[in-house]
Structure 1
Amino acid sequence: MSKITCVRTFRLPQRPKLIWVEIETDEGLIGLGETFRGAATVEAAIHELIAPGLIGRDSRQIEAIALELSTPYVGFHSASAEIRAASAIDIALWDLKGQRHGVPIHEALGGASRDRVRVYNTCAGYEFNTQQGARREISEADSRQGPYDDQLAFARDPAALAISLVEEGYTAMKIWPFDQFARQPGANTISLAEVEQGVETFRKIRDAVGNKIEIMCELHSLWDTSAALRICQALEPFDIYWVEDPLCKMDDAQALADLRRRTRVPICASETLGGSAAYRELLKADSLDYLMLDLVWCGGFTEGRKVAALAQAFNKPLAPHDCTGPVALFAGLQLAIHAPTAVLQEVVRASLSTWYGDLVDELPQIESGFALAPTRPGLGTALRPAFKQRADMIIRQTSR
């Protein structure tokens, strides 16, 4: 028996979108989970809806617990606060499973398909996605904060950025130069002049490094179908690796399939989806070329491995997402090492070089553009004791 004795959450005002959860058992183990966005709301969901029913449960019953948490009356079939909370819990349970058996999670899932996976650098800056509210855009007032201020770099000197990445061994990068032209939440239109301005970023990268690096274009679910098609077709001459989340409604399988038929640019979808059923519908409609998932949003490893099985069944490459936190990165990496069709793991070198290391006691080992398989039992990392003991840390726990 491995009874759950305590569920504890950690929130930090400095990182207001992130929340971490630890699950303790009567065998003396502590499992770690994480999720992102609406941290205070997720905290409430964990302690009011989930934790009271977990205390005293056998932590080995991961599938049964996941089924209960992923089919509530509200929040089902999405990346809602309920599902984000369930994702963090599930990751912690799998961390416990790996620790209990002395193996990394990728081995607990069924074993490794590879000993390393290629990474791509999402060209975010040091504070990207850490503040509340919308994504921060670069303005004229911004100045370079360090060598890896990559969002500012792609806005102002994409050629130098690409050269820097190639010199460090990266073979793929992701940028979003069209976001600046989106004027409202949801669907946006875009002018030909704006398209040409965004495309110029890709031209400068190709002129600087040629085919030494793959380029992904992130569209952040900002565009209507006409605007997305205009952008995609304009990118065709630059041999883009993928265009990610081009439509404002990424669960609209038919609209996405129609877009895919009208452009030669591969389509990647979607970090925004929760649960395997949503991915099944996109795959049935033949609406994507690359399947992206985020384990801290889609239901954790229990649901993520089912999504990976769908990708394998439909012969689609898999690419786990992380532009959020270090636990999400380790979770994605564990799945990418295991899943047969995984081809890439997202990383943010600005985060890896700074604040990720302040939070956790180990980071992935990256060599020559590849992340090596984690070797520690379980998830592969844990919150630093000093981080948990910060004076401004908000700690809440439910225990027996």
Structure 2
Amino acid sequence: MKIVKVEAFSLRDKGEGKPHWVSHFKVPHANEILIRLTTDEGIEGFGLATSYTSNEPLIHVLKTGLSEMILGADPLTPERLYHSLFSLTWQRASAEKGWTKEALVRLSAATDIACWDIIGKAAKMPLYKLFGGWRDEVPYYVTCAYYQDGKGIPELRDEMYKLLDQGHTRFKAKVGGLSLGEDIERLEAIREVIGDRDLMVDVNRAWDLRTATQAVRMLEPIKPRWLEEPLRWTDDRHETTLLAQRTHIPITGGESEMTLEGCRAFIDERAISVLQFDVTMFGGFTGGRKLAALCELNHVDVAPHHDAYIHAHIVAGSPAGLIVESFPDPSRDPLQAELFENPPITRNGTLKLNDEPGLGLMLSDRALEKFGTQIM
């Protein structure tokens, strides 16, 4: 089998509403590259590359030769194709073409996901079964409580009541953008609304070790299920290990890494209880499966970042799989709401995977026209 056609779309949404801020940056409403591959046997597969920075470096790579390296490749050999693309990050040819490491990492991941989609379709099996078939339903949580202009405690309460009315049962709140006392007040308000349901806390790497140490003491009465990315990026692996020794609250991280090796270091240093890699940002399914196996052997849970319908296959396929992240608010993530004609069913806090082969997802032509600009 050979890849005979490569298509790519830049998926963007300007977002007309109030920006969604985390501790120190604004998250995009939609900012992904979609890669669609077609084989000589007529099988199509797609993958996504997520980026919180500009898509332009990825578009440049695609337009200046990467697609030529994908054409003619065998999609049934994802290890070989992924390595050939990822290895460009240390080759002179990339510098000559002006290809950045981040762009290559993202696009190698998207291409890998598309290959696995083809593999599942060729095998006539959904990927979660090919990945081990541990279960066909996975829990999900809702990421919420972003900082927005005019959003005080009353508006935060209203948001949580709305999510409860929609039937959601687990929640992750943003902190780190205000003083520690103000953030604790916000979390106390959320806890009062949701009762004893799961509440996760996400700092987005905003605190120093002194602040984080104070925070874990103040958080204990709120009983968070986990504390996510609490430390600033400069020394977060070492400091996360130190923080984990100072609290019983599980510490999570991994989404801000760019490589599998970076995630491995978190596990090796026993810094985290839950790993949150993102196969649309690095590694693809080829890398994600390796990390899931490593987590299982090291008694670390897997709770991937973003793109619930893609990551559900990793979580459902492995005994280490814990939960997926969901964004049901279209003003935060319109792609989750509109990109697929047949999204998995979510009910009572669980996501039921589709039994269609591959990713089991059908792209919406309407959404591609609305959000997409075809690159090639």
TM above 0.5, one fold?
Answer: yes
What is the Cα deviation at residue 165 of structure 1?
3.5
Residue matched to 1:95: 117
Give the 3 Å change call, closer, same or farther, for CA 57–317 of structure 1 in structure 2. same
Q: Secondary structure at the match of 2:303?
A: strand
1:393 to partner: Cα distance: 4.2
Using the TM superposition, give the Cα deviation of residue 273 of structure 1 relative to its aligned residue in structure 2, in angstroms: 1.5
CA distance in 2, matches of 1:233, 1:360: 43
Quote how far apart the aligned CAs of 1:52 are: 1.1
Residue identity in the other structure for 1:39: N
1:373 Cα shift? 2.0
The percentage of aligned residue pairs carrying the same residue is: 25
TM-score by length of 1: 0.81
Rate the CA distance shift 1:331–1:363 in 2: closer, same or farther, 3 A: same
CA contact (8 A) 1:124 1:350 kept: no
The equivalent residue for 1:364 is 344
Residue 312 of structure 1: aligned partner:
296
2:148 pairs with 1:138:
yes
State the distance in 2 between where 1:124 and 1:157 align.
10
State the secondary structure of the residue aligned to 1:5. strand
Answer whether contact 2:89 2:101 (CA < 8 A) is retained. Answer: no
Give the alignment of 1:1-400 within 5 angstroms: 2-14=1-13, 17-37=31-51, 38-74=54-90, 80-109=102-131, 111-123=132-144, 137-140=147-150, 152=151, 156-179=154-177, 181=178, 194-211=179-196, 213-249=197-233, 252-322=236-306, 328-351=307-330, 355-389=335-369, 393-397=372-376
How many aligned residue pairs are there? Answer: 351
How far apart, in 2, do the equivalents of 1:238 and 1:282 lie?
26
Distance 1:168 1:357 in 2: 14
Q: Distance in 1 between matches of 2:143 and 2:115?
A: 29
Shift of 1:156: 3.6
Give, as a single letter, the amino acid of the residue that structure 2 aligns with 1:362: N
Query: What RMSD over aligned residues (CA atoms) do the two structures have, in Å?
Result: 2.5
Once the two structures are TM-superposed, the CA of residue 91 in structure 1 deviates from its matched residue by 0.6
**1:3–1:59 Cα contact (<8 Å) kept:** yes
Q: How far apart are residue 354 of structure 1 and its match?
A: 5.4
Query: What is aligned with 2:17?
Result: none
Q: Residue 11 of structure 2 contacts residue 34 of structure 2 at CA under 8 Å; is this kept in 1?
A: no
Q: Is the 8 A contact 1:18 1:36 kept in 2?
A: yes
After superposition, what is the alpha-carbon deviation per residue over 1:294-326, rounded to whole angstroms, capped at 9, x for unaligned? Answer: 11012110000011011101011110111xxxx
Q: Which moved more, 1:13-22 or 1:3-12?
A: 13-22
Q: Which runs of 5+ in 1 are unaligned?
A: 126-136, 141-151, 182-193, 323-327
What is the TM-score with the length of structure 2 in the denominator?
A: 0.86
Query: Partner of 1:128 in structure 2?
Result: none
Q: Quick one: structure 1 residues 43 and 68, their matched pair in 2 at CA, closer, same or farther if it must change by over 3 Å?
A: same
- Cα deviation, residue 86, structure 1: 0.8
Asked whether the equivalents of residues 158 and 205 of structure 1 are also in contact (C-alpha less than 8 Å), the reply is yes
Residue segments in structure 2 that go unaligned for 5+ positions in a row:
15-29, 95-99
2:276 touches 2:305 (CA, 8 Å); kept in 1?
A: yes
